[in-house]
């Protein structure tokens, strides 16, 4: 049975190639074709002998997802991809263009089991974890289709990365390897709703990778209503884990805070958030909520502009560094999960809520 070459770290491939009688430098040659030239067919790797190409073709595949849909923003070039995996499951990825860099926002699960009330991904259900190779392949596929060089990666697409911990860590190491993509660890961010024990483990396994916490509320009462997993891992447990993470890594931590009108955008919320983050090297991204159909009792509307500014001013008064995130891709289905959900609705694979 063929194996996905992208599921292997470099040294693992050296071992696998050795079993086939291939020298170490053959891995370098294949890596150059796959990661630099975006050639995924062994028969086209012309600096390998015909016998070696045949041998690799019989034992490995380089599985790149099939492009089902691609939306490109006319405003800022933000590009949203819908991919089909080898088993027919679908996932999303996003390319974000900045003046000095291109960032890939990639998925780690098919769907998401966390089911945050404001996230379209959770509304379409959860199927399975992605393999390390399926995570890595998103980066290669985006570079292929948009002819770009991705220099930054955020694990902030579909799924909760820390619930697929081993494959996420493996994919980071594959993407970091200088013989492959060679992306600096400090240009990789893992975003999580907060799995305390995995946050601490991440500090030991990948201390240079950046951490972002999707917090969205400063109290358990409000966060319970937004993030169901908070009933298992409280705000206090997450903050304790973040402090331990910082003790080990000395890294500043980003906190994502989706603002919802007249729910978590009050002055009191800002005061409590500032108190919660006291003593933490923190940076807060304030995110006006993306329009998405509500699945609960909370009315998911964007805050008024003055409420956003008030929230920011209160945090800054308490010396909490923050910014109101400038939106990208507002003219396309840029919010995570929207493109996939529309595809599944059209295929009749998820229930249409009225």
Residue 216 annotated as part of some ligand binding site: yes
Residues 197-215 have a mean pLDDT of: 98
Asked if pLDDT for residue 354 goes beyond 50, the answer is: no
Q: Where are the beta strands (DSSP E) in the chain?
A: 3-4, 60-61, 66-72, 79-84, 90-98, 101-105, 109-111, 126-129, 152-155, 188-192, 210-214, 253-259, 282-288, 321-324
- Which residues form the catalytic set? 92, 336
**What angle in degrees, to the nearest 10, is found between the helix axes of 132-146 and 165-176?**
50
SS3 content of the chain, % helix, strand, coil (to 5): 40, 20, 40
**Is pLDDT at 337 greater than 90 in this prediction?**
no
**Residues 105-156: tens digit of each pLDDT:** 999 999 999 989 888 777 778 999 999 999 999 999 999 999 999 999 999 9
Please report the pLDDT score of residue 326 as a whole number: 78
The torsion of the CA quartet 113, 116, 118, 120, rounded to 10 degrees, works out to: 0
Range name among 55-59, 285-289, 295-299, 305-309 with the lowest pLDDT average: 295-299
93 is in an annotated binding site: no
CA separation, residue 122 to residues 68, 228, 311, 343 (Å): 20, 11, 27, 15
Length of the chain: 354
Where do runs of H (alpha helix) occur along 147-252? 165-176, 196-205, 220-226, 235-249
Closest by CA to 38, choosing from 251, 185, 180, 219, is 180
- Residue 135, classed as helix, strand or coil, is helix
197 is in an annotated binding site: no
Is 215 annotated in a binding site? The answer is yes
Buried b (16+ CB within 10 A) or exposed e, 171-206: bbbbbbbeebbebeeebbbbbbbbbbebbbbbbeeb
Please report the domains of the chain, with CATH numbers, ordered by start residue.
3-61 (1.10.150.530), 66-346 (3.20.20.70)
Q: What is the DSSP letter of 266?
A: S
In this prediction, what percent of the chain has a pLDDT beyond 70?
Answer: 91
Task: Give the whole-number percent of the chain exceeding pLDDT 90.
Answer: 85
pLDDT at res. 343: 66
Q: How confident is the model at residue 348 (pLDDT cuts 50, 70, 90)?
A: low
Collapsed DSSP state (helix, strand, coil) of residue 121: helix
Phi and psi at 104, nearest 5°, equal -105, 130
Q: Per mean pLDDT, which range of 74-83, 125-134, 295-304, 344-353 is the poorest?
A: 344-353
Phi, psi for 210 (deg, rounded to 5) = -80, 150
Q: What is the pLDDT of residue 122?
A: 73
Confidence at 330, pLDDT banded by 50, 70, 90: low
Residue with tokens 């910082």, as numbered in its chain? 246
How confident is the model at residue 352, as a pLDDT? 43
Is 73 assigned to a binding site? no
pLDDT of residue 353: 41
Angstrom distance (rounded) from CA 7 to CA 36: 17
Is 82 annotated to bind ligand? no
Q: Which residue has the tokens 């080898």?
A: 86
Return the structure tokens found at 298.
């909370």
Q: How far is CA 173 from CA 16, 177, 211, in A?
A: 18, 6, 16
Q: Determine the average pLDDT of the residues in 7-15.
A: 98
DSSP letter (8 states) at residue 348: T
Closest CA to 156 of 138, 174, 141: 138
Note the pLDDT tens digit of each residue in 17-70.
Answer: 999 999 999 999 999 999 999 999 999 999 999 999 999 999 999 999 999 999
Q: Is the pLDDT of residue 351 over 90?
A: no
């Amino acid at each position: 049975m063929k194996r996905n070459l992208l599921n292997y770290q470099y040294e693992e491939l050296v071992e696998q190639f050795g079993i086939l009688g291939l020298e170490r430098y053959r891995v370098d040659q294949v890596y150059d074709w796959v990661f630099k030239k975006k050639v995924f067919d062994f028969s086209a790797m012309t600096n390998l002998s015909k016998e070696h190409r045949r041998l690799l073709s019989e034992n490995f595949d380089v599985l790149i997802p099939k492009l089902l849909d691609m939306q490109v923003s006319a405003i800022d070039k933000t590009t949203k991809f819908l991919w089909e995996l080898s088993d027919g499951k679908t996932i999303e990825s996003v390319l974000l263009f900045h003046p000095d860099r291109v960032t890939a926002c990639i998925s780690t699960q098919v769907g998401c089991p966390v089911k945050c009330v404001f996230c379209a991904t959770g509304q379409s259900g959860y199927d399975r974890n992605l393999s390390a190779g399926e995570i890595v392949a998103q980066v290669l596929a985006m570079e292929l289709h948009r002819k770009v060089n991705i220099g930054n990666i955020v694990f902030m697409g579909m799924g909760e990365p820390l619930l697929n911990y081993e494959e996420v860590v493996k994919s980071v190491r594959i993407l970091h390897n200088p013989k492959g993509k060679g992306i600096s660890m400090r240009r990789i961010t893992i975003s999580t709703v907060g799995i305390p024990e995995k946050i601490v483990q991440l500090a030991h396994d990948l201390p240079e990778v950046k951490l972002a916490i999707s917090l969205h509320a400063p109290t358990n009462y409000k966060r319970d209503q937004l993030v169901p997993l908070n009933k298992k891992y409280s705000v206090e447990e997450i903050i304790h884990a973040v402090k331990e993470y910082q003790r080990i890594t000395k890294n500043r931590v980003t906190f994502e805070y989706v603002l919802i009108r007249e729910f978590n955008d009050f002055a009191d919320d800002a005061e409590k958030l500032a108190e919660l983050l006291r003593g933490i090297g923190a940076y807060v991204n304030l995110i006006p909520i993306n329009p998405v159909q509500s699945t609960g009792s909370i009315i998911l509307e964007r805050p008024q502009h003055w409420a956003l500014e008030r929230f920011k001013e209160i945090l800054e008064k308490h010396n909490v560094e923050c910014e109101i995130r400038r939106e990208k891709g507002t003219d396309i289905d840029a919010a995570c999960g929207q493109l996939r959900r529309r595809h599944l609705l059209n295929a009749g694979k998820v229930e249409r809520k009225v």
